[in-house]
Amino acid sequence: EIQTLLLQGKGGLWWRMVCKGLLWGKLLFQRSRVRLQRGHEPLYHSIPSQTVTPPPSIRAGPSRGRGCAGGMMRDTAIVLLAVGALLPGGYPCPAWRCGGSHNGTSFYDPKSDLSLYPYSNVLQVDGAGISSSAVQANDGTVFVGGHDGYIRVFRKQQATSSTDFWRTETTAWAELYKSPEFGSSCQILSTPTILYGTSSDPSVYTVVFSCGRRVVAIDGSKNTPTKLWTIDLCDYFVGALENCEWQSGTSSPVATTTGDVIYLCVGPSNRGACFALKSADGSLLTSWAQNPFPSSDSSNMMFTSSPALLPTGTLAVGANLGGAGVMLFLDSLTGLRDFSKGEFKLQNGVLFTSSPAVLPDGSLVICSTDGQLHKFKPDNEYEWSKPDLCGTSPSSLQASPAVTPTGDLIVSSSSPPLLRRLTASGVEVWSFCANPEYASGDCTGGPVASSPVYTPSGQVVAGGAGGVVFSVAFDTSIETWRYHVGDSSLVSTPLIASDGVVLVG
């Protein structure tokens, strides 16, 4: 089922017809009041004037999110918000946080004027909740996993309804493919990774999904995606198979720049492991020391974040070692641990549950469950910790910082629900209250649970409590727009697709 949210600009049908005629011209729009029609409840937003020059050809792609139907929030849909400007150049988002460095920098801006694109789709997914983030390939196809163990593929197709004569777009998002690869017992919480360079044909790409102990790769470039390989990580277990306890908790895969090797970590129990797999067939990179256990103290090891790939060829990943968080630095070629700068370990009961975000100079930042933000130098040496900057509520513990091209940081928190801009040294520049009650002066309410995204024009896009998606100007901390898409907290990272559509979950 595909439901529609109407995004209507000032002037109604006449205005949309004018926009259709001028769509490919250079348009200068005055400030407009834009209404997002959700059931019977209009929400009004003021959008600044902006000149828009769309490229002659660009392919679209959404991001993952939760939807609303009949005014009720359901954790069963992908919401596509048409809220921003088309920019030429750049590439879609092929992995969680748009790459192995997990810095949350988008290649695209949201659309600037809703009246240009007067509707958005709510894609129902058969009652399955979605907590993983969506990724987009260079042909516009979108991939995401669901709580029901299905992998889903979405693509824009020719619109078939003869009644939607008023629409300025002739295509609509539709579910192209779905498959119960992991079964209903495995909720897919990780984000898939798209690999290029796996074929001599540049249009061919592989998409790797993971859930629990299983990893699946598909050829996503075909109209009907085909499975390339599937593996059970317990088959790589050294010892008796019955000792394998990896039923959930697999990290999002991260790939080398050449796409020939993927890394992922598993282990919700105390028998965690990180693996290096050949993307061609899922077999082990046998020279890697982490197959299958990291060290002799593996009986107490549990991996708690997705690994990030540093410019030095090092993998950084947070782990639980004997009840305390520890930062691991692993050589991506050998898997050997780097102890040259000692071992940074948190106090007992405090863990790293967000994933590392890499700065332009190769340093990294990561949040811990006590609300502290930690920074490590490019040579892996611990640099500093700053208190009360990260989220501490259960829903916000996995929110990771965003990093701008200049090295500034954007961090979300839970109590109070703040979005903060920091310098690379951790000095606060501004804080923005993300109260779900629009224009409320009281900075209370639920946390900013999603990881923020930084856009090329200097917007910060995030999802918060109460089903709110909002954008804040990076330079001024002024809110530029806000949309209420439901009643539940949004926990996934927003994806800004190549057509400026924002996908949230």
2-504 is a CATH 2.60.120.10 domain: no
Q: CB neighbours of 196 closer than 8 A, spacing ≥ 6?
A: 94, 138, 202, 205, 259
Q: How far apart are CA 323 and CA 268, in angstroms?
A: 12
pLDDT < 50 stretches in the chain: 1-76, 82-90, 114-119, 121, 162-167, 240-242, 294-298, 438
| pLDDT value at residue 229 | 95
* Per-residue model confidence (pLDDT) at position 156: 78
- Summarize pLDDT for 277-288 with one digit per residue, the tens: 999 999 988 777
Q: Residues 77, 124: contact at Cβ < 8 Å?
A: yes
What are the pLDDT digits (tens) for 159-206?
Answer: 655 444 444 556 667 788 888 888 877 888 888 999 887 667 778 899
Beta strands in 61-205 (DSSP E): 67-69, 72-74, 77-82, 119-124, 135-136, 142-145, 151-158, 171-179, 193-195
Interatomic CA distance for residues 362 and 378, integer angstroms: 5
- How many other CB atoms sit within 10 Å of the CB of residue 158? 8
Strands, E assignment, 252-300: 254-255, 261-266, 273-278
Burial of residue 449 (CB within 10 Å: 0-12, 13-18, 19+) is buried
Gap between the Cα atoms of 172 and 159, Å rounded: 5
Which pair of structure tokens corresponds to residue 327? Answer: 């930062």
Question: Cα dihedral sign for 442, 446, 450, 451?
Answer: positive
Q: Helix, strand, or coil here: 274?
A: strand
Peptide bond before 401: cis, by omega within 30 degrees of 0? no
Q: Are 236 and 284 in contact (CB under 8 A)?
A: yes
User: What pLDDT, on a 0 to 100 scale, did the predictor assign at position 182?
Assistant: 83
Quote the pLDDT of residue 177: 84
Q: 389 with 431: CB under 8 angstroms? A: no
Do 497 and 78 contact (CB within 8 A), yes or no? no
Strand, coil or helix: what is 17?
Answer: helix
Residue with tokens 């017809």: 17
